[in-house]
């Protein structure tokens, strides 16, 4: 760990219990480096505070001015008449730490640092950030940044961010409920601006910057307990404290506050983990996605999608589900809407024939009634047509969401009818329109979601409804996590396990293994094969040779003692030539086993979140399609079944095209047992893998054919491929 990282980690630990109200709810603000020039960083925030109506005390500090506007300007922080809650430092990097020391000396508890030139600026910047982190730890100050755009409490108008977007898009009147937490100042400003265009009411605007003293989890934890925050919208590039993030996200979920996250892409090619097949498959991005899903977070694809989800989550008081009925003033747009909704994972099922008859009887002028419902251009001429159609749809027990397309002009004509229907149903109503309807505020007040684009509406609705259906397991997983943490680690095996030792240790946790024996010589191998029963496989047994085929260390399907002796002698000689330094512990004789399918099941240690499991179908599904699912540990049997059912090739396990169904219960039990084994090793585990786990026909169980356990600091010797064929 670098010096800067060590200091930052220590500072975070010291600040974990520090209240952030001085930063996020300040009653008084000093701006050190304040400027009369509202185009300069030191002038923008001061202008925001004056123009947007901040009611607290503001103290500009700059020896160049006696006053700025109507405010007296002080020559230094020591001259400020009262100790402010927070100091905003609009200064260069070299001046930051000396000024912070002066702030601390006069009793200021929090500071916001705009300056760049820290960890992002080479060796000198890294050293400067390490010194800053150490100061935060020693002083106990809550310090945002450095290299951040700043913060803004838009409810109190304590806007200390230098984002000029507040000039183009002022905060809403009254308190907001959406708190924005990003690791990019630009993304923070973009999401805020697009959100305001959709009338999203924001509460907190937080850009974390370099996170030298406070990191993402600190802010998230604060927002989880903040009564004003109802929804958290976040942009993440990389987290530092996965366990604290998990706890904070779980608190949000328990409080009923949706968490909506956009994760910046990371190249999987950059992963340094190469010891096992699992390590290659469990890239950072995949583990982040798994973690967010387990924590019940909605996951956005881009900033616009992030904004749309924040907007739609504001209608959470209305019920929603996966069955959508489309009503449109245009047959073409109705069809297109149905296509987009289907692509987003939603169902657009035909309406019940009896409902279709009622619609046709009530409004004979309309077009198609199957779904989509084509209301046609008769909305121009027919008063009450929209109400008649939508009222029938709202009363239909087979409808979860009503999705309406109308031009702005027609929407304004039928707004009253739509509002009347919304008042009679608790179902979510989503409207996609073109143009800018004058009825927007009236529709929003009635609980109707309004989008400026059909595609954006469909994409947001698909993600939102999917989140509603999958967020529930979080509480169960958190309970499992707490139980596993309380259980402690078990007996730790020798750090240099060979395959036989690894499987024997895993068997103690319930991982099923087959008949096998260790043999010292080719003759011993033949006798072991006679006891086990043919056909058998023979492998070199060494903690230093993981990729056995590359050294000629495997023979399969041996049918008699003569074949076993010959194969065993060849294996020993070949492995000795290829890796003379490897420790050979003899030979492993193993009964050949067939089944319905092979699985790869492995655990790697993610640097952010800790142990994470990967499950996938073996063979070409792993090699070519990367058909895998991921979860953070612990994984119980129910979660293991969810992982299996999430595979694209899961149908191959369920009796596809007349083939026998696999023993899914046994596979799930083996996966859960591997999770228990991994957790028992605690922080000493590097990685663990069973590849393949052969799953037999239903009722016949499963068996681990090969296993690998790598302790921290131990090299495994290469990639694993089960039988090594």
pLDDT digits (tens, 9 = 90+) for 596-612: 999 999 999 998 999 99
The pLDDT value given to residue 283: 52
Residue 88 pLDDT > 90, yes or no?
yes
Query: Pick the residue with more confidence: 153 or 655?
Result: 153
Average pLDDT over residues 520-542: 96
Measured between alpha carbons, how far is 414 from 506 in angstroms, rounded to an integer? 66
Per-residue model confidence as pLDDT tens digits over 704-713 = 999 999 988 6
525 to each of 221, 546, 552, 722, how far by Cα in Å? Answer: 59, 20, 17, 20
Residue 722 pLDDT > 70, yes or no?
no
Residue 725 pLDDT > 70, yes or no?
no
Average pLDDT over residues 53-74: 97
Q: What is the mean pLDDT of the chain?
A: 90
Average pLDDT over residues 14-26: 74
Kindly state the tokens that stand for 622: 């792993």
Residue 179 pLDDT > 80, yes or no?
yes
Percent of the chain scoring above 90 in pLDDT: 80
The pLDDT value given to residue 489: 52
DSSP type of residue 661: B
Average pLDDT over residues 563-591: 96
Per-residue model confidence as pLDDT tens digits over 620-674 = 667 677 889 999 999 999 999 999 999 999 999 999 888 899 999 999 999 999 9
Measured between alpha carbons, how far is 466 from 401 in angstroms, rounded to an integer? 13
Q: Give residue for tokens 């492998």.
A: 539
The pLDDT value given to residue 472: 67
The pLDDT value given to residue 571: 96
Radius of gyration (Cα) for the chain, nearest Å? 31
Helix (H, G, I), strand (E, B) or coil at 98: helix
Residue 18 pLDDT > 70, yes or no?
no
Query: Pick the residue with more confidence: 134 or 715?
Result: 134
- Indicate the pLDDT class of residue 4, thresholds 50, 70 and 90: very low
pTM of the model: 0.89
Pairing of strands 401-407, 324-328: parallel
- Which of the residue ranges 199-203, 299-303, 615-619, 627-631 would you say has the lowest mean pLDDT? 615-619
Question: Contact, 572 vs 554, CB < 8 A?
Answer: no
Domains along the chain? 3-264 (3.40.50.720), 324-470 (3.40.50.261), 515-591 (3.30.1490.20), 597-711 (3.30.470.20)
Residue 292 pLDDT > 90, yes or no?
yes
What is the signed CA dihedral for 280, 283, 289, 291, rounded to 10 degrees?
90
- Indicate the pLDDT class of residue 13, thresholds 50, 70 and 90: very low
CB-based burial, 187-224: b 16+ in 10 Å, e otherwise: bbbbbbbbbbebebbbbbbbbbbbbbbbbbbbbbbbbb
Q: With the C-alpha atoms ordered 607, 612, 618, 620, is the resulting torsion angle positive or negative?
A: negative
Per-residue model confidence as pLDDT tens digits over 224-269 = 999 999 999 999 999 999 999 999 999 999 999 999 999 987 544 4
Distance of CA 610 to the CA centre of its chain: 14
Per-residue model confidence as pLDDT tens digits over 255-265 = 999 999 999 87
Question: Contact, 551 vs 576, CB < 8 A?
Answer: no
The pLDDT value given to residue 549: 84
The pLDDT value given to residue 724: 35
The pLDDT value given to residue 657: 83
Distance of CA 180 to the CA centre of its chain: 16
Question: Contact, 159 vs 176, CB < 8 A?
Answer: no
- Side-by-side strand order, sheet with 324-328: 373-374, 324-328, 401-407, 428-434, 449-451
- Side-by-side strand order, sheet with 178-182: 158-159, 151-153, 202-207, 178-182, 231-236, 259-263, 298-299
Residue 10 pLDDT > 90, yes or no?
no
């Amino acid at each position: 760990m670098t010096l800067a990282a060590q200091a930052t980690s220590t500072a975070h630990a010291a600040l974990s219990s520090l209240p952030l109200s001085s930063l996020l709810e300040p009653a008084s603000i000093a701006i050190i480096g304040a400027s009369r020039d509202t185009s300069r960083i030191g002038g923008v925030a001061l202008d925001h505070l004056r123009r947007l109506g901040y009611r607290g005390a503001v103290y500009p500090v700059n020896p160049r001015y006696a006053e700025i506007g109507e405010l007296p300007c002080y020559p230094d922080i020591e001259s400020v008449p009262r100790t402010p809650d927070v100091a905003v430092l609009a200064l260069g990097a070299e001046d930051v730490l000396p000024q912070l020391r002066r702030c601390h000396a006069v009793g200021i508890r929090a500071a916001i640092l705009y300056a760049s030139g820290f960890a992002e600026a080479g060796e000198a910047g890294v050293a400067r950030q390490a010194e800053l982190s150490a100061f935060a730890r020693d002083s106990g100050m809550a310090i945002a940044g450095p290299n951040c755009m700043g913060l803004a409490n838009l409810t109190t108008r304590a806007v200390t961010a230098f984002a000029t977007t507040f000039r183009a898009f002022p905060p809403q009147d009254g308190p907001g409920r959406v708190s924005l937490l990003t690791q990019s100042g630009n993304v923070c400003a973009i999401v805020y601006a697009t959100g305001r265009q959709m009338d999203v009411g924001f509460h907190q605007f937080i850009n974390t910057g370099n996170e030298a003293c406070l990191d993402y989890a600190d802010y998230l934890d604060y927002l989880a307990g903040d009564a004003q925050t109802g929804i958290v919208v976040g942009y993440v590039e990389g987290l530092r404290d996965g366990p604290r993030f998990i706890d904070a996200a779980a608190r949000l979920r328990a409080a009923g506050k949706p968490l909506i996250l956009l994760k910046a892409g990371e190249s999987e090619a950059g992963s340094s983990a190469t010891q096992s097949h699992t390590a290659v498959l469990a890239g950072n991005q995949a583990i982040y996605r798994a973690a967010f899903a387990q924590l019940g977070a909605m996951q956005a694809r881009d900033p616009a999608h992030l904004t749309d989800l924040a907007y739609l989550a504001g209608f959470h008081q209305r019920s929603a589900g996966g069955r959508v009925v489309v009503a449109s003033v245009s047959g073409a747009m109705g069809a297109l809407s149905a296509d987009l909704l289907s692509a987003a994972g939603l169902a657009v099922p035909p309406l019940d024939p009896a409902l279709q008859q009622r619609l046709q009887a009530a409004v004979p002028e309309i077009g198609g009634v199957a779904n989509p419902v084509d209301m046609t251009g008769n909305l121009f001429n027919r008063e009450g047509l929209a109400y008649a159609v939508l009222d029938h749809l709202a009363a239909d027990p087979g409808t979860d969401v009503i999705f309406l397309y109308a031009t702005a002009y027609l929407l304004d004509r039928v707004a009253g009818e739509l509002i009347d229907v919304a008042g009679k149903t608790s179902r979510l109503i989503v409207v996609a329109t073109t143009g800018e309807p004058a009825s927007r505020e009236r529709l929003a007040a009635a609980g109707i979601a309004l989008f400026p684009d059909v595609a954006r509406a469909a994409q947001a609705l698909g993600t939102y409804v999917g989140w509603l259906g999958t967020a529930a397991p979080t509480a169960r997983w958190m309970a499992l996590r707490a139980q596993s943490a309380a259980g402690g680690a078990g007996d730790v095996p020798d750090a240099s396990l060979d395959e036989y030792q690894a499987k024997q240790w895993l068997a103690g946790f319930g991982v099923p293994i087959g008949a096998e024996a260790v043999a010292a010589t080719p003759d011993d191998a033949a006798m072991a094969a006679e006891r086990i029963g043919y056909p058998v496989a023979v492998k070199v047994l060494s903690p230093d040779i993981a990729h056995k085929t590359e050294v000629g260390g495997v023979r399969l399907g041996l049918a008699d003692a003569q074949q076993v002796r010959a194969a065993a002698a060849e294996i020993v000689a070949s492995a000795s030539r290829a890796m003379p330094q490897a420790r050979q512990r003899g030979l492993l004789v193993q009964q050949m086993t067939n089944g319905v399918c092979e699985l790869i099941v492995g655990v790697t240690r993610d640097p952010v979140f800790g142990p994470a499991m990967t499950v996938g179908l073996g063979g070409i599904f792993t090699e070519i399609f990367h058909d895998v699912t991921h979860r953070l540990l612990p994984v119980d049997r129910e979660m293991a079944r969810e992982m299996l059912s999430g595979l694209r090739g899961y149908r191959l396990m369920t009796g596809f095209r007349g083939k026998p169904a696999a023993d899914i219960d046994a596979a799930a039990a083996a996966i859960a047992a591997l999770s228990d084994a991994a957790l028992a090793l605690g922080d000493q585990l590097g990685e663990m893998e069973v590849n393949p786990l052969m799953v037999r026909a239903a009722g016949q169980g499963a068996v681990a054919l090969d296993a690998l356990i790598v302790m921290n600091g131990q090299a495994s010797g290469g990639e694993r491929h089960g039988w090594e064929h």
